[in-house]
Amino acid sequence: MDLRDTLLTLLKAPDYVPLRREEIIAVLKLNRDEAKKAHQLIDRMLEQGEIAYLKKNRLCIPKDADLISGKIIFRQSGSGFILPDSDPNGEGYPVSAEDTGLAFHGDHVLARIIEQPKPRYRHYRRNERPAAPEQKPNLRVIRILKRARSSYVGTLQKGRHATYVIPDDPRLIQDFLVPDPRNSGIRPTPKEGDKVVIKLVEWKQRHLNPEGEIIEVLGKTHEPDAEFKAILYKYNLEPQFPAAVEKQTDGIPDKVRPSDCKDRMDCRKLFTFTIDPDDAKDFDDALSLEELEDGKLRVGIHIADVSAYVKPGSPLDVEAQKRGNSTYLVGTVIPMLPHALSNGLCSLVEAEDRLTKTAFITYSDKADILHVEFANTVIRSNKRLTYRQAYAFMQKDDFDEIRKTPLPPKHQTGSTGRSLDEVNQKEMKLLQVHIRKLWHIASQLRKKRFRKGSLDLDMTEVKIYVDEQGYADRLEIQENDESHQLIEEFMLGANEQVARTMQRNHFPCIYRVHDEPEDEKLQELRETMITFGVQCGNLSKASGMASLLKKLKDHPQGHALKVHVLRSLKQAQYRASPDGHYGLAKPDYTHFTSPIRRYSDLIVHRVLDSYLHKIGAESAPKQPDVRYSQGKLESLGEHISITERNSVDAERESVKTKLLEYYERELHKDKKQSFQAVVADVKNHGLFVELVDSQAYGLVHISTLDDDFYHPSSDGQSIVGRRKKKVYSLGQYVDVQVERVDRFKRQIDFRIVPEESNNKKPSPRPTKKTAQSAKELSQIRKQRRSDRQKKSPAKKRR
């Protein structure tokens, strides 16, 4: 039994009386070296919340003293909740604003359970009283175990008696007091309205503002460069690479050398092409197609072989592992690998030799998999296609029409290779034939996947383009059409086959795992759907969830309700155990197809090399990478899951910042633009709406509805005008204009444009089939009687 287990055994003993650390060391009879290790261990366990201090520095297990340790998450109102260390993915325990103590958003805290009053019941007879709803006790923060960060970004402001900084994060509700910037020693001197970085000095009393000192100036608040730097600082993203990485990169050749191709399968004569977004600069994957006898089709999924250049333990590898993945902010990317690799030697550009790892999958005409093999290969892409061009090849027969496929006029910097005007008729024909045959297979794979219970979670995405100064210039909806689906299916297929091969051959590997949702989350989702008149089946089964998503496709509020579905699901993560992927309905799944931008895929490539070496494949490297141990893979899986979530948060903040910027510019236009929106929620103070084109979310305050006095309906599903009886209800489409943008609170307010077209698509009312209770059925019947009376008004009195 190690020292940690010995310590926990003592603290968990039924007869344990809280002791100070010196007394514990004496009880355990530790020598000097062991005592030193015990002090270090106790400090670490205190920081992690495994043990806690009582009065007079006595130690105990937190739950034995009604204490809970965890991460505190704030709301903009000042209240929040704590995600306990014992269940970080659960719902958490509520904390009122006055009980948050000296905590900031994201801090690791220790909190005490506060006794809850018994729930009150009114208007119920004794026999009709329902069961008390299960409530989690409120908590009060009593100690900060570890600050989430020691510095914060905000805007410098000057008051009459003090200088302060308003934090960028609206969940930090306290302003930071700072000394006079003229005495900061920073040049140029920070000015009012500047975006600055402050270091937290102290905060000892809740009724006083926390104090900090300015350590860096990022620029003028709300200017693109300053906002960009703020996101980099907040999420610890670094555009520049360390000197050791740059030095190693300088030694990498610009082109693939003949010696690099030795012992690789030569696929340069295979007709190969890539399909990527218009402005893509790095190309991870390419496809090829070979027609075999009996109508069989052999598809080559060629993936950039980053492992050929990034060796374990090298400066490139250490930095790539640290970053975990590339981060795609609006208008730019923070790459995992230097541009010389990500956009150069590893990118599968047109008409250049490139080293790849290839999954060859042979399909029957009905898309059944007949054979799978892997190889280290060398390819030469014949054509770089955009999704628009690939879609044109699928839909049009006239090559002249296909050549006219438009590209965004100002954003072709990522476009490489020949234009379609330079492609001869023979190549055009080959591209069309190959793309259509590949879609013949991919469309069947897609149907099979959904029949097995795969969830259709494709969400409409909005791409934000910026102008030369970096300001948000225009928005463009990204449709998930057949060209995207074609690439998706073959990438999914390659990922699945690699995972299956590694698992069956018992090779330690990293897997992409998506666990089944929790029952509590599914029950909440079921109740939400009933509110919107959507009947649910058995959501605990993938088929029931797939059926629900199918219904939401035609629902007026389909997008908003899909967000609720996503929130009910667990986050996918990387793990060293092949635990399956719930969302894709695949028992075997990993990430293999994007090693330029994901470290997980680079790990899988190295594991695949070891496999090829073991089976004696001709294309196996002569000196394969050392196999990863299970413990190392578990550690890596946890690390890259964290870096992925960090990048997702940074990308979301980047999009939110640019949307605020885009709609703020609307306020300064002489003629305001109208946007179609759908009512997503109804509150006493107004309507929350979501714009159809950009999915931007904002409030139509009830005070802006100046044509009448509005009040909420009895069911809370709409607001009704007192005189004119005009109704705004959930799911209703309205036209809105931007009323106000608060960059500090990250909020957009809208005003409804008074047009009769607002009632275009009201959400469907509940029916007898969707009614879940006698009360709801009674309301439906009452509403129908009311509708009939309106259609057949009573005769006038004579």
467 lies in some domain: yes
Q: What is the pLDDT of residue 123?
A: 46
Phi, psi of 459 (to 5 degrees): -110, 145
- Tens digit of pLDDT for each residue in 582-594? 999 999 999 999 9
Give the domain-ending residue among 188, 221, 254.
Answer: 221
Asked if the model's pLDDT at residue 291 lies above 90, the reply is yes
Asked if the model's pLDDT at residue 370 lies above 90, the reply is yes
Q: What is the crossing angle of helices 599-614 and 315-323, to 10°?
A: 130
498 lies in some domain: yes
Same domain assignment for residues 505 and 642: yes
Asked if the model's pLDDT at residue 186 lies above 60, the reply is yes
Q: What is the pLDDT of residue 721?
A: 92
For the record, the structure tokens of 504 come out as: 């069956």
Q: What is the pLDDT of residue 763?
A: 40
Asked if the model's pLDDT at residue 796 lies above 70, the reply is no
More confident residue, 664 or 134: 664
Which is it for strands 80-84 and 67-74: parallel, antiparallel or unpaired?
antiparallel
Q: How confident is the model at residue 550 (pLDDT cuts 50, 70, 90)?
A: confident
Asked if the model's pLDDT at residue 121 lies above 70, the reply is no
Q: Are 496 and 588 in contact (CB under 8 A)?
A: yes
Q: What is the pLDDT of residue 119?
A: 55
Same domain assignment for residues 544 and 652: no
Q: What is the pLDDT of residue 492?
A: 97
- SS3 for 417? coil
For the record, the structure tokens of 510 come out as: 């990293």
Distances (CA, A) of 429 to 298, 350, 392, 399: 19, 18, 13, 8
Asked if the model's pLDDT at residue 429 lies above 80, the reply is yes
Range of 342's domain?
A: 243-513+582-656
Q: How confident is the model at residue 361 (pLDDT cuts 50, 70, 90)?
A: very high
For the record, the structure tokens of 603 come out as: 């790990």
The CATH number of the domain holding residue 207 is 2.40.50.700
Same domain assignment for residues 364 and 258: yes
Mean pLDDT over each residue of the chain, to the nearest integer:
87
Average pLDDT over residues 591-601: 97
The CATH number of the domain holding residue 682 is 2.40.50.140
Task: List, as one string, the DSSP characters of 443-471.
Answer: HHHHHHHHHTT-------EEEEEE-TTS-
Asked if the model's pLDDT at residue 391 lies above 80, the reply is yes
- Tens digit of pLDDT for each residue in 765-795? 444 444 444 445 455 555 555 555 544 444 3
Percent pLDDT > 70 in the chain is: 90
Handedness of CA 697, 701, 707, 708 (dihedral sign): positive
Average pLDDT over residues 171-187: 90
Same domain assignment for residues 306 and 376: yes
- SS3 for 384? strand
Q: What is the pLDDT of residue 784?
A: 55
Q: What is the pLDDT of residue 698?
A: 94
Among the listed residues 378, 255, 245, 264, the one whose alpha carbon sits nearest the alpha carbon of residue 311:
245
Q: What is the pLDDT of residue 692?
A: 84
Q: What is the pLDDT of residue 720?
A: 92
Q: What is the pLDDT of residue 185?
A: 85
- Tens digit of pLDDT for each residue in 567-583? 889 999 999 999 999 99
Which is it for strands 272-276 and 383-386: parallel, antiparallel or unpaired?
parallel
Q: What is the pLDDT of residue 114?
A: 86
Q: How confident is the model at residue 745 (pLDDT cuts 50, 70, 90)?
A: confident
Q: What is the pLDDT of residue 187?
A: 86
Distances (CA, A) of 56 to 36, 47, 68, 303: 21, 18, 19, 61
Asked if the model's pLDDT at residue 437 lies above 80, the reply is yes
Q: Are 664 and 741 in contact (CB under 8 A)?
A: yes
Asked if the model's pLDDT at residue 761 lies above 60, the reply is no
101 lies in some domain: no
Average pLDDT over residues 52-73: 87
Structural domain count, the chain: 5
96 lies in some domain: no
Encode burial over 124-137: b for 16+ CB neighbours within 10 A, e otherwise.
Answer: eeeeeeeeeeeeee
For the record, the structure tokens of 454 come out as: 């795969």
Same domain assignment for residues 489 and 343: yes
Same domain assignment for residues 508 and 528: no
Same domain assignment for residues 385 and 525: no
Same domain assignment for residues 366 and 425: yes
Average pLDDT over residues 760-764: 43
Same domain assignment for residues 338 and 418: yes
Alpha-carbon dihedral of residues 56, 59, 61, 66, nearest 10 degrees?
0
Average pLDDT over residues 723-747: 90
For the record, the structure tokens of 511 come out as: 């897997």
Q: Are 327 and 648 in contact (CB under 8 A)?
A: no
- Tens digit of pLDDT for each residue in 628-668? 999 999 999 999 999 999 999 999 999 999 999 999 988 98
- Tens digit of pLDDT for each residue in 472-518? 988 888 888 999 999 999 999 999 999 999 999 999 999 999 999 98
SS (H, E, C) 539-553: CCCHHHHHHHHHHHC
Same domain assignment for residues 17 and 158: no
80 lies in some domain: no
Give the 3-state secondary structure percentages of the chain, helix then strand then coil, rounded to 5.
35, 25, 40
- SS3 for 112? strand
Asked if the model's pLDDT at residue 738 lies above 50, the reply is yes
Among the listed residues 528, 535, 518, 640, the one whose alpha carbon sits nearest the alpha carbon of residue 582:
518
236 lies in some domain: no
Same domain assignment for residues 711 and 629: no
SS (H, E, C) 665-733: HHHCCCCCCCEEEEEEEEECCEEEEEECCCCCEEEEEHHHCCCCCEEECCCCCEEEECCCCCEEECCCE
Same domain assignment for residues 489 and 362: yes
For the record, the structure tokens of 236 come out as: 């610890």
- SS3 for 153? strand
146 lies in some domain: no
Cα separation, 762 vs 556, in Å, equals 7
524 lies in some domain: yes
The CATH number of the domain holding residue 45 is 1.10.10.10
Among the listed residues 494, 444, 148, 142, the one whose alpha carbon sits nearest the alpha carbon of residue 301:
494
